[in-house]
Amino acid sequence: MALPKQAKIISAVLLLAVAAGGVLYLDRPESSASAQSTDDAYVQADFTTIAPQVSGTVDRVLVADNQQVKAGDLLATIDDRDFVVAVNAAKAQVASARAGIASLEAQLIRQDTAIRQAQAAVAADEAGLTLARANHARYRNLAGDGSGTLQALQQAEAQLSILLASREKNQAGLQAARHQVNILRADLEKARAALEQAQAAQASAELKLSYTRITAPAGGMVGQKSVRAGAYVNAGKPLLVIVPLDAVYISANFRETQLARVEKGQAVDIKVDALPGEALKGTVDSLAPASGVSFSSIAPHNATGNFTKIVQRLPVRIRIDPGQPAAAKLRVGMSVTPTIRTGQ
C-alpha cells in the first residue's frame, strides 16, 4: 500500500534532519565533549635514586626490599677507617698551623723587645757621643795652647770614632729589627692562610667521613635495591631507589585534539586497571609545555619528502585527591583511565 504524499514528505524531512544531525555530530570538534578520557595513562612518582658520594666497601645494609623508610633513616654504611685516618691527619695539620701562628706571634712580641733594646743602644751611643765630642773639643783646645798633650787629644779622637761606629752599628741593628717585624708579619699572614687551608682540608675530610653514612633524603618505599654488605661501590653508582607512594600522581597522554577545554583544577574520575570496582578522584594539576616526542633525542618531524600528519599527544599531570583509602594501593607504573570533566 502506497504511503500518502504527506507522509512521504514528512519521512523525507525526518531522514534529512537525521542525516544533517549525524553529519553535524560527526563533524564537531573532539574537544567539545563534556568529558575527555584516555587509556594512555600511568601512575607516576618523583622517586629518588640513592647513590654513594664516596667509594668504598659497604659495611652494613640496614634496609630490605620494599621497606618503608622515613627521611633521615640510615640505609647503609661504608667502611670508614680510611676516612677516619684522613680526618685525624687533617686535624694534625690544623694543630700544626695553629702552633706555627702562635710561634710567629711570640716572635713578634720578642721582636718588639729587640727593637726597644736597639733603640736604647742608639740612645746610649748618642749620649756617649755628646761626651766624646765635648772631650775632643776640650783636648784639642788644650793641645792648641800647649797645656794639653797630643796623646790625650789622640785618645779623645779615637774614642769619638769608636762611638760614631758603634752608633752606626746600632742604628743598622735598629733598622734591621724594624724590617724583621714586617717579615714576621708576612710570615704570620702566610701561616694564617695555611691554617685556613688546613681547616678547609679538615672540613672536606669530615664531610667525606659523613658520606660513609648513607641516609634517606625523603620518605618512601625502598625499591630496586642492589646494595649488598661487603660489596665495593663507586661514587655515583645507584644502590637503591626510594619511591614516595604518598605523593604519586597520574601522567595521562591526551591527544592534542582533546585539550582545547582542559584546564588546571578540573575534576577527574580515575579508573585503575589493577583495582576493579574502585573509583578514585583527582584534579588536573598541569599541562606539559610540549608533546612527548618533542623531548626525544631524534625528532620525528619530517621536513622533506612526503608527509603524513599524526595527531600528537601531550602529557597532563593529574594529582590524586587526598583522603582516599584506595590511593594507598597505587604503585608506580599501574595503568589507569582518567576522565576529565571539562563540561563543569
Which of 165, 190, 210 terminates a domain? The answer is 210
For residues 222 and 249, membership in a common domain is answered with no
Q: Are 275 and 329 in contact (CB under 8 A)?
A: yes
For residues 180 and 278, membership in a common domain is answered with no
**25, part of any domain:** no
303 CB neighbour count, 10 Å cutoff: 6
CATH code assigned at 221: 2.40.50.100
For residues 164 and 203, membership in a common domain is answered with yes
**142, part of any domain:** yes
**200, part of any domain:** yes
Predicted model pTM: 0.70
CATH code assigned at 321: 2.40.30.170
57 CB neighbour count, 10 Å cutoff: 13
Quick one: which of 290, 338, 326 has its CA closest to 36? 338
For residues 278 and 324, membership in a common domain is answered with yes
Per-residue pLDDT of the chain (344 residues; tens, 9 = 90+): 455 667 667 766 777 777 666 655 545 555 567 789 999 999 999 999 999 999 999 999 999 999 999 999 999 999 999 999 999 999 999 999 999 999 988 888 887 888 787 777 777 767 676 766 766 666 566 666 666 566 666 676 677 677 677 777 777 777 877 888 888 889 889 999 999 999 999 999 999 999 999 999 999 999 999 999 999 999 999 999 999 999 999 999 999 999 989 999 999 999 999 999 889 999 999 999 988 787 777 766 666 667 778 888 999 999 999 999 999 999 999 999 999 998 75
**Measured between alpha carbons, how far is residue 338 from residues 263, 276, 334 in Å?**
14, 14, 12
For residues 335 and 320, membership in a common domain is answered with yes
For residues 149 and 195, membership in a common domain is answered with yes
For residues 115 and 205, membership in a common domain is answered with yes
If you write DSSP's letter for every residue of 77-92 in order, what string do you get?
EE--HHHHHHHHHHHH
C-alpha cell recorded at residue 49: 635514586
**Residue 217 sits in which domain range?**
49-79+212-242
The total number of structural domains in the chain stands at: 3
Give the start-end residues of each E strand in the chain.
Answer: 35-37, 41-44, 48-50, 56-61, 68-69, 74-78, 213-215, 220-223, 232-233, 240-243, 249-255, 267-272, 279-287, 313-320, 335-341
For residues 199 and 317, membership in a common domain is answered with no
Q: What does the pLDDT read at residue 305? A: 67
For residues 91 and 175, membership in a common domain is answered with yes
For residues 63 and 100, membership in a common domain is answered with no
For residues 309 and 255, membership in a common domain is answered with yes
